Amino acid sequence: VLCVSQDFDFFYFVQQWPGSYCDTKQSCCYPTTGKPAADFGIHGLWPNYQDGNYPQNCDPKNPFNPDKTWRPPATYCPWRRPSIQLRIGFVTIGVFVVADLRSSLQKNWPTLACPSGNGVSFWTHEWEKHGTCSESVLDQHGYFQAALSLQKQAKLLQALASAGINPDGGSYSMSNIKRAIQEAVGFTPWIECNTDASGNSQLYQIYLCVDTSGKNLIECPVFPKGKCGSEIEFPSF
Ligand code: 5GP
Ligand code: 5GP
Ligand code: 5GP
C-alpha cells in the first residue's frame, strides 16, 4: 500500500515528573548532557483506540533516523505535508528528519533511564513503538515537532503552581491536582502514580488527549487505568 490512512482514534500525550522517576527504589541516571530542568518532560505521544487498546511497533521499515539530515520521503502521500520539504518544482525529493530538533529534544524530552544516555535511545524507542503507528499523519519530524508543540500548550508545572501545588514533597489531593490542570489547560488530565523508595504514592505522569492531527488537545475519549491514593505526594527534583 502506498498511502494508508490513519488507523487510530486519538493520542495520549504523556509527560513525566523527573522527581518521581528518580526517587524510586530503582533510581535514575541523568542524561550525559546534564541534569534536566525541574519541569515535566515528555515521555511520549501514543496513538490509541477508543476502546482503550493501542497499536504498537507498526513499521519496522521506518526506523528512527536522528542524524541524517535528509532522506527521501518514505511514501509519497499528497495530503501529508512533512514539516520541512526539499522540493524541486512539485516533486518532493527529501524531508528533513530530526537533526534540527535535537537541542529542543534534549531539553524537553530528557531521558532518565540508566545507564546515562544522550536521549537517542529513548526517542528511538518512542518513535519505533508509538510514532510508527501514526506515520500516515506525522512523519518523524512531524511527530517530534508535534510533541514539543503540545508541551508548550500544556504548561503543567505552571498550571499546578497557579493552584498552589508545587514540587515541595508535600501531599496534595488528586481532585485539586486535576482541577488545577483542567482550569489552566482546559482539558481533564489523567494522573498516573508510582511509589517512592519508602512506598508513598506520588504524582508520576500526566496524560492529556490529542486529536488525530497531533495538534489539538481534546477531552479524553477513554482514560487509562491504574490506582492512585486520594492524596498523593509531589516530590522535588
Ligand atoms: P506501563 O505498563 O508501565 O503502564 O506502560 C508501559 C508502556 O506501555 C508505556 O510506556 C507505553 O509505551 C505503553 N502504554 C501503556 N499504556 C498505554 C496506553 O494506554 N496507550 C498506549 N498507546 N500505550 C500505552
Ligand atoms: P514505554 O514505557 O514508553 O514503552 O518505554 C519506556 C522505555 O524507554 C523503557 O525501555 C525505558 O527504559 C526507556 N526510557 C529511557 N528514558 C526514559 C525516561 O526518562 N522515562 C521513561 N519512562 N522511560 C525511559
Ligand atoms: P471519580 O470518577 O469519582 O473522579 O473517580 C473514580 C475513581 O477513579 C476514584 O478511585 C479515583 O481516585 C480514581 N481516579 C479519578 N481520576 C483519576 C486519575 O486521574 N488517576 C488515577 N490514577 N485515578 C483516578
- Structural domains of the chain, with CATH: 10-63+101-233 (3.90.730.10)
Q: Which ligand is nearest to the CA of 123?
A: 2
pLDDT at residue 90, as a whole number = 73
pLDDT band at 136 (very low <50, low <70, confident <90, very high): confident
Cα of 152 from ligand 3 centre, angstroms: 26
Q: Which atom of ligand 3 lies nearest, measured to the CA of 192?
A: 22
Catalytic-residue membership of 141? no
User: By C-alpha distance, which of 55, 52, 56, 22 is closest to 190?
Assistant: 52
Catalytic-residue membership of 125? no
Residue of 20 and 88 predicted with greater confidence: 20
> What three-state secondary structure class fits 183?
helix
Mutating to test ligand 1, I would choose from 11, 24, 26, 46 the residue with most ligand atoms within 8 A of its C-beta, which is 46
pLDDT at residue 41, as a whole number = 98
> What three-state secondary structure class fits 94?
strand
* pTM, full prediction: 0.92
pLDDT in tens, 138-155: 988 899 999 999 999 999
Catalytic-residue membership of 43? yes
pLDDT in tens, 181-220: 999 999 999 999 999 999 999 999 999 999 999 999 999 9
User: By C-alpha distance, which of 233, 188, 237, 180 is closest to 40?
Assistant: 237
Q: How far apart are CA 172 and CA 133, in angstroms?
A: 36
Q: Which ligand is nearest to the CA of 176?
A: 3
Residue 74 buriedness (CB in 10 A; 0-12 / 13-18 / 19+): middle
Residue 114 buriedness (CB in 10 A; 0-12 / 13-18 / 19+): exposed
pLDDT band at 66 (very low <50, low <70, confident <90, very high): confident
Q: Which residues contact 158 (CB under 8 A, 6 or more apart)?
A: 184
233 sits in which H/E element: strand 231-233
Residue with the three cell numbers 508543540: 149
User: By C-alpha distance, which of 67, 38, 40, 28 is closest to 203?
Assistant: 40
Ligand 1 site, residue 117, Cβ cutoff 6 A: no
pLDDT at residue 73, as a whole number = 59
Angle between helices 120-129 and 140-153 (to 10 degrees): 100
Ligand 1 site, residue 224, Cβ cutoff 6 A: yes
Q: Which atom of ligand 1 lies nearest, measured to the CA of 11?
A: 22
ipTM of predicted assembly, 2 dp: 0.94
Ligand 2 site, residue 21, Cβ cutoff 6 A: yes
Q: How large is the average pLDDT for residues 104-129?
A: 96
| Given the residues 125, 128, 130, 231, the one annotated as active site | 130
